[in-house]
């Protein structure tokens, strides 16, 4: 643990107990639980008075509720699972039923004590839950009367559907509007036409938002690993529109997951999965270049165990998973005439990846009114990368280290007419890339194409260069850590009658966050050597032409206090109409570097820039100078309204809709540039054999071999200033927010549920960095080194100046169609189809994420509106499972998309690029010429029952089984030249240059469970 971790955990333990004892109230938010409600009848009349209990079949845990004057009851705070529901009326009549609830569900179950059976509104779909050797069946209740647009992913889907990586978030793609994209270095999740930073993930109610860097989920950016052990996931829910007031810090989608718990039966499993590099097809372009087939061996193994410590009272669950990947990367030269210089550094080298995931949980039912859970997760990974696949040597490699830790302590209290959940949690996420050879001198070998005249060798500092080879120590060294200690209390009153039945939820959250950011870019000295192909001068690599070295920058520690409060009323106006009325407010006191004060020298620099004759004002610079810190944004008020109307009061045909505002946040890495850029200074020193004026440089340093050591360079650079960059963040910048609207209809056809949703979202106040030292889109940049500091009489040490523009907007219009038939053992099959038709547009920078640098335009207002680069017009994700003879089971995911837009450059006559106006060539799959992306994944499972009823399970995965070539990059040069509007079109425009992953891959697995 680092810095404040130990203090945080100590405070967490003490305060959790205090909160638990102090709180006495309501039904928890649906982030990690479910709600069951309904009416108790005697014949046709409602039965007033009495009680209802829900006994979780697997654990024996009991939840109690009371029957109101109108016969209604509400049971809140239920874990997703199978329950025996028992109702006892005031005169002693009883009725029982067994049902299965999904995560986040608000399900309806009517009970008739006269008939002794459930009311007719309940689905007859049967779900199966394994409890040791016993299979318990219960009616799975469809959630129809909800205004949320949500998709539940069950444990059966997580276990059975094909995938290679064991990352449960892959299955978020089963929800319409959500895109999961696999890359060589990371996996991204985006939704609603927005980038990945706009989503949020909750695991057991804990907020896992990335607060400093990209990714949306902490630990996902720049990672090939999994955020959480798949064996510990019970199920999860993806909300893409109209999520209620208890959800925070997301403007596109929420993913909420609940972990598994121990039961009254000892259960566990052991698994191993293996993928050999020979079972993966080669990338088309790698094959065409004649490269050897790259190696990628993947081994995943682990297990889980859970059971009772005290039956019906205290249970445990533990799991461990490990992932090992062995990849080969080839170091080669594009210009083979230089091979003799670097022969020992060429060849194929191994790039390993390793990850460990640990999870543990204790669940304790203190009595029939109180429960306590203690949950802990540990994740550690390292990944050696950033070398090879070209002229970059192994010693330039960087190790990407990641470390996530979390602890959750949760207390639940079930009262008469209310339910309360109090929790305290600690979360830490570390991103720590380090150069494998941090203390070695970097070296960059360069050929100058026009350095060919004369018989003697002369340095040419200003020539056009082509990099021949790069070796030496890497340049990326960072230590970024987010920590938080969070206290939450959610209170729900579920027994309020006034013009209908109300379930009123209220919650408060306080989080103490700490950000630690240390960046050491280019702290390895970066030497450039002038290498010429002529044999008589090839030895010139002995003397470098120059060296660049960044000066050290002190780490930054920032603290941010977060407060969130909400109120949600789910109002059943009558048997057909329900209204969902919510409001939320969030506040952060240091979200965008609010405690920063602009240094005096930067204030003088801004004054000098504004006085430059070529400077054209476009912003009020007074709004970018912080003298006493910035006021925190207080306007994050978020009303949210939804409704559902059951046309025939039978949960078959339901009209639903809603509208709401959803505020996101700005990652600290964005505002951190304001602190880091001016002091992240790089000094470049030019060398020559004798020093002085040489090769066009007025001042060079005579080369001495001692300068190849860090000690020698430190002496050489002592007292130098170097140059940095100025970043200015606007005062009072509003957080990004999205206004969402939707209207839809659900229709059940027996065991099949369908929905059609019309969705609209408008996003405002996204941000980007724009150059301050340029007057319009076609002007020459004002040379900043020409500015003189009036106080010192010397040049300002800044080479660039940027300001934050917060006027980016997005617009998203979509139609979602879902068809869902859950898999059950009795039926022997299940399927889900999600179709998205979307139009997404935006302005601002073409970059997506926290960087958002725009060098094409001086402000967002001057940029065009263009198609969002990450959104397909048409997207279909179909999944399903079917039982086969002899205990075989076949599962599949089919992903089809019409293709993401790309940009055309060189439009003619100096015109601006045509941003994201072109689409890739489409190919056939069932439909002719309809899809640019096609992927069919299969998993075949065979089960054997062995001694004592235990199960041995073999799996075979075939990913992208038809080896479709899904292209990711395209030739964007629209015209051969940029001279005239009728200049010749480039015949290779739009041709692909790279592929999306995965290519065709196979994997085998073995699982033993008891």
**What is the residue-wise DSSP string for 624-674?**
G--SS-PPPP--EEEEEEEEEEETTSSSSEEEEEEEEEEE----HHHHHHH
Could you please report the per-residue DSSP string of 15-30? HHHHHHHH----PPPT
C-alpha to C-alpha distance for 549 and 713, rounded to whole angstroms: 9
What percentage of the chain reaches a pLDDT higher than 70? 89
Query: In the prediction, which pLDDT does 455 show?
Result: 29
The rounded mean pLDDT for the chain is: 86
Of 361, 170, 375, 162, the C-alpha closest to 255 is 170
Is the pLDDT at 914 greater than 50? The verdict is: yes
C-alpha to C-alpha distance for 775 and 147, rounded to whole angstroms: 49
963, 1000 Cβ separation under 8 angstroms? yes
CB neighbourhood size of 625 (10 A): 15
pLDDT band with cut points at 50, 70 and 90 for residue 90 = confident
The tokens describing 704, both together, are 């001495």
Beta-carbon contacts of 426 under 8 Å, excluding residues fewer than 6 positions away, are 5, 8, 9, 12, 405, 406, 407, 483, 484, 485, 486
Of 455, 457, 476, 601, the C-alpha closest to 526 is 476
C-alpha to C-alpha distance for 393 and 386, rounded to whole angstroms: 9
Q: Report the DSSP beta bridge partners of residue 467.
A: 446
The tokens describing 786, both together, are 């020409």
Beta-carbon contacts of 404 under 8 Å, excluding residues fewer than 6 positions away, are 218, 219, 227, 377, 378, 379, 380, 427, 428, 429, 430
CA angle 765, 768, 774 (to 5 degrees): 125
C-alpha to C-alpha distance for 163 and 174, rounded to whole angstroms: 13
Least-confidence region, from 237-241, 574-578, 715-719, 794-798 = 715-719
Q: pLDDT tens across 458-478, in order?
A: 455 555 567 788 888 888 899
Q: At 47, give phi and psi (nearest 5°).
A: -105, 115
Q: Report the DSSP beta bridge partners of residue 688.
A: 702
Q: What mean pLDDT do residues 108-115 have? A: 84
C-alpha to C-alpha distance for 306 and 262, rounded to whole angstroms: 4
The tokens describing 116, both together, are 């002794």
Q: What mean pLDDT do residues 448-456 have? A: 36
Q: pLDDT tens across 846-879, in order?
A: 887 766 888 888 889 888 999 999 999 999 999 9
| Residue 335: exposure state from Cβ atoms within 10 A (0-12, 13-18, ≥19) | middle
C-alpha to C-alpha distance for 217 and 225, rounded to whole angstroms: 12
Query: In the prediction, which pLDDT does 908 show?
Result: 66
Q: Which whole-number Å values give the CA distances from 287 to 280, 284, 292, 996, in the listed order?
A: 13, 5, 7, 15
pLDDT band with cut points at 50, 70 and 90 for residue 981 = low
Q: Report the DSSP beta bridge partners of residue 471.
A: 443
Q: pLDDT tens across 261-296, in order?
A: 999 999 999 999 999 999 999 989 888 877 778 788
Q: At 88, give phi and psi (nearest 5°).
A: -125, 120
Query: In the prediction, which pLDDT does 135 show?
Result: 39
Query: In the prediction, which pLDDT does 653 show?
Result: 95
Query: In the prediction, which pLDDT does 738 show?
Result: 97
Is the pLDDT at 565 greater than 90? The verdict is: yes
Q: At 159, give phi and psi (nearest 5°).
A: -80, -35
Higher pLDDT, 171 or 18: 171
C-alpha to C-alpha distance for 251 and 959, rounded to whole angstroms: 32
Could you please report the per-residue DSSP string of 258-300? EE----SS-EEEEEEEEE-GGGBPPPHHHHHTTPPPPPEEEEE
461, 686 Cβ separation under 8 angstroms? yes
C-alpha to C-alpha distance for 187 and 209, rounded to whole angstroms: 16
What does the radius of gyration of the chain's CA atoms come to, in whole angstroms? 31
C-alpha to C-alpha distance for 754 and 140, rounded to whole angstroms: 16
Of 241, 121, 106, 122, the C-alpha closest to 569 is 106
Of 291, 299, 249, 254, the C-alpha closest to 275 is 299
C-alpha to C-alpha distance for 334 and 320, rounded to whole angstroms: 44
The tokens describing 363, both together, are 């669940």
Q: pLDDT tens across 316-360, in order?
A: 999 999 999 998 888 888 777 778 878 888 988 999 999 999 999
Q: Which whole-number Å values give the CA distances from 629 to 359, 502, 625, in the listed order?
A: 41, 44, 9
Residue ranges of the alpha helices (H) in 485-549?
A: none
C-alpha to C-alpha distance for 1007 and 955, rounded to whole angstroms: 8
Q: Which whole-number Å values give the CA distances from 84 to 108, 161, 975, in the listed order?
A: 14, 29, 69
Of 9, 103, 24, 33, the C-alpha closest to 424 is 9
Q: What mean pLDDT do residues 930-952 have? A: 94
Q: pLDDT tens across 488-546, in order?
A: 999 999 878 889 989 999 999 999 999 999 998 888 888 887 765 334 434 445 678 88
C-alpha to C-alpha distance for 175 and 159, rounded to whole angstroms: 17
| Residue 628: exposure state from Cβ atoms within 10 A (0-12, 13-18, ≥19) | exposed
The tokens describing 736, both together, are 């990004």
**What are the strands, taking DSSP E only, across 822-932?**
829-842, 853-854, 866-867, 874-884, 888-897, 902-904, 914-918, 923-925, 927-931
CB neighbourhood size of 488 (10 A): 24
Q: What mean pLDDT do residues 665-671 have? A: 88
Chain-centre distance of CA 169, in angstroms? 9
């Amino acid at each position: 643990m680092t810095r404040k971790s130990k203090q945080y955990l100590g405070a967490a333990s003490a305060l959790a107990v205090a909160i638990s004892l102090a709180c006495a109230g309501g039904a928890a938010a649906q982030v990690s639980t479910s709600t069951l409600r309904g009416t108790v009848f005697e014949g046709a009349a409602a039965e007033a008075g009495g009680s209802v209990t829900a006994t979780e079949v697997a654990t024996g845990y009991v939840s109690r509720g009371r029957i109101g004057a109108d016969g209604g009851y509400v049971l809140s705070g239920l874990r997703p699972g199978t329950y025996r529901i028992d109702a006892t009326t005031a005169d002693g009549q009883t009725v029982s039923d067994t049902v299965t609830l999904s995560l986040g569900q608000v399900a309806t179950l009517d009970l008739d004590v006269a008939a002794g059976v459930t009311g007719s509104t309940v689905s007859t779909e049967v779900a199966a839950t394994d409890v040791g050797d016993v299979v318990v069946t219960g009616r799975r209740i469809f959630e129809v009367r909800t205004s949320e647009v949500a998709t539940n992913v069950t444990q059966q889907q997580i276990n059975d559907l094909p995938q290679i990586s064991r990352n449960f978030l892959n299955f978020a793609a089963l929800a319409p509007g959500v895109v999961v994209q696999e890359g060589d270095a990371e996996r991204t999740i985006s939704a609603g036409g927005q980038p990945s930073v706009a989503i949020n993930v909750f695991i057991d109610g804990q907020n896992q938002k990335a607060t400093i860097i990209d990714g949306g989920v902490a630990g996902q950016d720049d990672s090939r690993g999994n955020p959480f052990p798949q064996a510990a996931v019970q199920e999860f829910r993806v909300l893409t529109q109209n999520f209620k007031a208890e959800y925070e810090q997301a403007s596109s989608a929420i993913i909420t997951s609940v972990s598994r718990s121990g039961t009254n039966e000892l259960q566990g499993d052991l698994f191993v999965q293996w993928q050999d590099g020979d079972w993966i097809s080669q990338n088309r372009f790698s094959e065409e270049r004649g490269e050897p087939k790259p190696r990628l061996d993947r081994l995943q193994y682990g297990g889980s165990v859970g059971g009772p410590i005290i039956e019906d009272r205290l249970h445990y669950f533990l799991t461990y998973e490990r992932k090992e990947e062995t990849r080969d990367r080839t170091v080669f030269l594009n210009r083979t005439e230089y091979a003799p210089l670097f022969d020992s550094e060429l060849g194929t080298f191994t790039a390993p990846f390793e990850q460990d995931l640990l999870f543990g949980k204790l669940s304790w039912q203190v009595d029939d009114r109180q429960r306590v859970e203690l949950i802990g997760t540990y994740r550690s990974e390292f990944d050696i990368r950033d070398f090879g696949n070209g002229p970059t040597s192994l010693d330039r490699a960087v190790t990407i280290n990641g470390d996530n830790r979390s602890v959750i302590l949760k207390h639940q209290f079930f009262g008469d007419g209310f339910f309360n959940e109090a929790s305290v949690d600690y979360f830490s996420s570390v991103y720590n890339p380090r150069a494998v050879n941090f203390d070695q001198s970097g070296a960059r070998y360069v050929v100058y194409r026009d350095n060919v005249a004369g018989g003697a060798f002369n340095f040419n500092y200003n020539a056009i260069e082509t990099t021949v080879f790069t070796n030496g120590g890497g340049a990326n060294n960072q230590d970024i850590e987010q920590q938080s200690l969070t206290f939450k209390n959610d209170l729900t009153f579920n027994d309020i009658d006034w013009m209908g039945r109300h379930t009123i939820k209220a919650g408060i959250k306080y989080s103490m966050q700490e950000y630690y950011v240390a960046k050491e870019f280019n702290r390895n000295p970066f030497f450039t050597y002038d290498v010429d192909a002529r044999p008589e001068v090839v030895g010139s690599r002995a003397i470098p032409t120059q060296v660049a070295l960044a000066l050290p920058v002190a780490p930054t520690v920032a603290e941010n206090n977060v407060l969130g409060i909400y109120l949600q009323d789910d109002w059943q106006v009558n048997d057909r109409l329900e209204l969902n009325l919510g409001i939320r407010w969030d506040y952060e006191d240091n979200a965008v570097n609010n405690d920063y004060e602009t240094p005096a020298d930067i204030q003088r620099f801004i004054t000098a820039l504004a006085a430059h004759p070529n400077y054209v004002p476009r912003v009020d610079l007074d709004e970018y100078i912080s003298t006493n810190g910035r006021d925190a944004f207080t306007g994050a008020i978020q009303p949210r309204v939804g409704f559902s109307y059951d046309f025939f009061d039978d949960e078959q045909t339901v009209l639903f809709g809603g509208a709401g505002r959803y505020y996101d946040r700005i990652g600290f890495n964005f505002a951190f540039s304001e602190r880091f850029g001016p002091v992240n200074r790089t000094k470049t020193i030019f060398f020559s054999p004798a020093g002085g004026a040489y090769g066009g440089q007025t001042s060079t340093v005579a080369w001495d071999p001692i300068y190849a050591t860090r000690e020698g360079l430190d002496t050489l650079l002592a007292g130098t200033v170097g140059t940095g960059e100025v970043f200015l963040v606007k005062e009072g910048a509003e957080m990004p927010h999205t206004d969402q609207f939707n209207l839809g209809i659900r229709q059940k056809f027996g065991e099949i549920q369908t929905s059609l949703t019309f969705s609209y979202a408008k996003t405002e106040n996204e941000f980007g960095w724009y150059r301050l030292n340029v007057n319009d889109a076609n002007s020459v940049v004002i040379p900043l080194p020409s500015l003189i500091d009036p106080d010192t009489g010397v040049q300002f040490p800044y080479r660039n100046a940027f300001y934050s523009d917060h006027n980016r907007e997005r617009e998203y219009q979509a139609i979602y169609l879902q068809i869902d038939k859950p898999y059950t053992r009795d039926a022997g099959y299940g399927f889900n189809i999600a179709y998205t038709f979307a139009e997404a547009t935006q302005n601002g920078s073409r970059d997506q994420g926290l960087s958002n640098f725009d060098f094409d335009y001086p402000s967002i207002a001057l940029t065009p509106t263009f198609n969002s680069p990450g959104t397909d017009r048409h997207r279909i994700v179909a999944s399903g499972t079917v039982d086969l003879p002899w205990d075989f089971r076949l599962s599949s995911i089919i992903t089809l998309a019409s293709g993401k837009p790309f940009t055309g450059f060189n439009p003619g006559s100096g015109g601006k690029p045509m941003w994201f106006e072109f689409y890739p060539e489409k190919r056939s799959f069932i439909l002719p010429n309809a899809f640019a992306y096609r992927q069919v994944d299969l998993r075949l499972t065979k089960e054997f029952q062995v001694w004592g009823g235990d199960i041995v399970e073999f799996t075979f995965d075939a990913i992208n089984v038809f080896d479709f070539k899904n292209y990711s990059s395209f030739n964007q040069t629209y015209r051969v030249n940029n001279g005239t509007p009728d200049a010749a079109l480039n015949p290779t425009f739009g041709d692909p240059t790279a592929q999306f992953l995965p290519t065709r891959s196979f994997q085998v697995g073995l699982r033993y469970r008891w």
